[in-house]
């Protein structure tokens, strides 16, 4: 049984439509140097999917068209794609803000020794996964040795100015729950992170983003294997807050997969629920040149409750306090 099948049934999630497009989120491939339990992409070192040169060219041309304000690079580990730096340079040359969703340990990998310096030189915002401030919890979710490697990656970025009070270099951390429950209050948890990381390791950062785990791919499979899938979906539904609908990321973002095909969000990408425009789907980024998506209906399903439950959850953290 495929872990995502329960999410493809008819959903009663509220209908929503797009606002102005602001962010192009690009999944450069599913290859990663880690294999995390909560990963909604099923990324791992064994994955072969990786964006090729022609698709990267299409992405760059779309960015150069002036359609978006922000390029958000994700994966897998996006830095493992050979076109990662070319896309960063092209976007920055256009004055477009660039985000790198970094797992921190990639900064220590062979061949990536100058990655941190590259990010700093191009003023790339780093959004870094760190699901806890303790070794036990991080290694339990992400693998043995990940915590210490993550701390070393953070220290490297701090030395370059990331997170420092007098610096324009921004690093935000991401918290994911360790199991099938909602994130705690983002403001309080951020203070706990800042205190623990500074007192124990001398590390500083800008903001903490709390994200709910999505019941798809690897995390969804784990829920099903433990018989907790329906329980978690009930939790998400019961915690739904209608006011969060105004701020969900899919209103102002499109997600592009490693082949160049377009989705309303990264989660829909993983469920193969493509963006639909005037009855057409299977659209490539090439098909969107000169297209106004504002007002277009967004494809929704039950997993969308993960974005509206509790404080809400988006690529920029909680939606409400």
pLDDT at 129: 87
The residue with greater pLDDT, 37 or 78, is 78
Q: Residues 71, 83: contact at Cβ < 8 Å?
A: no
CA distances from 171 to 66, 123, 130 (A): 25, 11, 12
- Identify the pLDDT of residue 214: 86
* Cα–Cα distances in angstroms (integers) from residue 93 to residues 63, 266, 290, in the given order: 10, 25, 21
Question: For residue range 247-298, what is the model confidence (pLDDT) as tens digits?
Answer: 999 999 999 999 999 999 999 998 999 999 998 999 999 999 999 999 999 9
* 5 pLDDT higher than 50: no
Say how far apart CA 215 and CA 271 lie, in whole Å.
11
Give me the residue label for tokens 């277009």.
296
Whether 43 and 223 have beta carbons less than 8 Å apart is answered as no
The 10s digit of each residue's pLDDT in 203-229 is 999 999 998 888 887 777 888 889 999
Percent of the residues in the chain that have a pLDDT greater than 90, as a whole number: 69
Picking from 315, 283, 308, the residue whose alpha carbon sits closest to that of residue 296 is 283
The pLDDT assigned to 218 comes to 72
Domain boundaries of the chain, sorted by first residue: 20-213+248-293
Q: Give the model's pLDDT for residue 123.
A: 98
Query: Coil, strand or helix: which one is 140?
Result: helix
200, with CB counted inside 10 A (0-12, 13-18, 19+), is exposed
Q: Return d(Cα 247, Cα 59) in angstroms, integer.
A: 26
Average pLDDT over residues 73-92: 94
The model's pLDDT over 92-121, given as tens digits with 9 standing for 90+, comes to 999 999 999 999 999 998 888 899 999 999
Q: Which CATH architecture has domain 20-213+248-293?
A: Alpha-Beta Barrel (3.20)
What's the predicted TM-score (pTM) here?
A: 0.91
Is the pLDDT at 235 greater than 60? The verdict is yes
CA 226, CA 136: separation in Å to the nearest integer?
A: 22
What does the pLDDT look like over 186-197, one tens digit per residue? Answer: 999 999 999 999
Q: Both tokens of residue 207?
A: 């903001």
> Torsion-angle region of residue 104: left (phi > 0), alpha (psi -120 to 50) or beta?
left
pLDDT of residue 1: 37
- Concatenated DSSP letters for 50-71? B--HHHHHHHHHHHHTT--SEE
Instruction: Please report which confidence band the pLDDT of residue 45 belongs to, taking 50, 70 and 90 as the band edges.
Output: low
Q: Choose the most confident range, by mean pLDDT, from 64-73, 215-224, 302-311.
A: 64-73
């Amino acid at each position: 049984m495929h872990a995502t099948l329960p999410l493809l049934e008819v959903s009663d999630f509220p209908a929503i439509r797009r606002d102005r497009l602001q962010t192009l989120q690009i999944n450069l491939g599913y290859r990663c140097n880690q294999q995390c339990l909560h990963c909604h992409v099923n990324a791992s070192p064994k994955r072969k999917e990786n964006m090729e040169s022609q698709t990267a060219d299409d992405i760059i041309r779309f960015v150069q068209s002036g359609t978006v304000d922000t390029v958000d690079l994700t994966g897998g580990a996006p830095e493992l794609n050979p076109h990662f730096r070319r896309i960063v340079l092209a976007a920055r040359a256009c004055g477009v803000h660039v985000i790198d969703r970094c797992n921190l340990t990639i900064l220590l990998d062979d061949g990536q020794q100058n990655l941190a310096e590259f990010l700093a030189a191009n003023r790339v915002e780093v959004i870094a996964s760190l699901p806890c401030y303790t070794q036990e919890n991080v290694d339990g979710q992400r693998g043995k040795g990940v915590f210490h490697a993550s701390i070393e990656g953070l220290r490297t970025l701090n030395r370059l100015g990331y997170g420092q009070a007098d610096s324009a270099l921004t690093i935000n951390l991401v918290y994911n729950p360790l199991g099938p429950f909602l994130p705690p209050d983002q403001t309080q948890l951020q203070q706990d992170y800042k205190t623990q990381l500074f007192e124990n390791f001398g590390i500083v950062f800008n903001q903490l983003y709390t994200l709910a785990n999505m019941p798809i791919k690897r995390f969804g499979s784990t829920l099903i294997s433990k018989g907790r899938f329906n329980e978690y979906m009930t939790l998400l539904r019961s915690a739904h807050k209608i006011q969060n609908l105004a701020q969900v990321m899919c209103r102002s973002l499109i997600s592009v997969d490693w082949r160049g095909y377009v989705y309303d969000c990264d989660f829909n990408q993983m469920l193969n629920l493509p963006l639909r425009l005037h009855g057409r789907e299977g659209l490539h980024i090439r098909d969107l040149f000169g297209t106004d998506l504002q007002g277009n209906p967004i494809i929704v399903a039950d997993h969308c409750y993960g974005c509206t439950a509790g404080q809400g959850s988006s690529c920029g953290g909680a939606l409400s306090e």
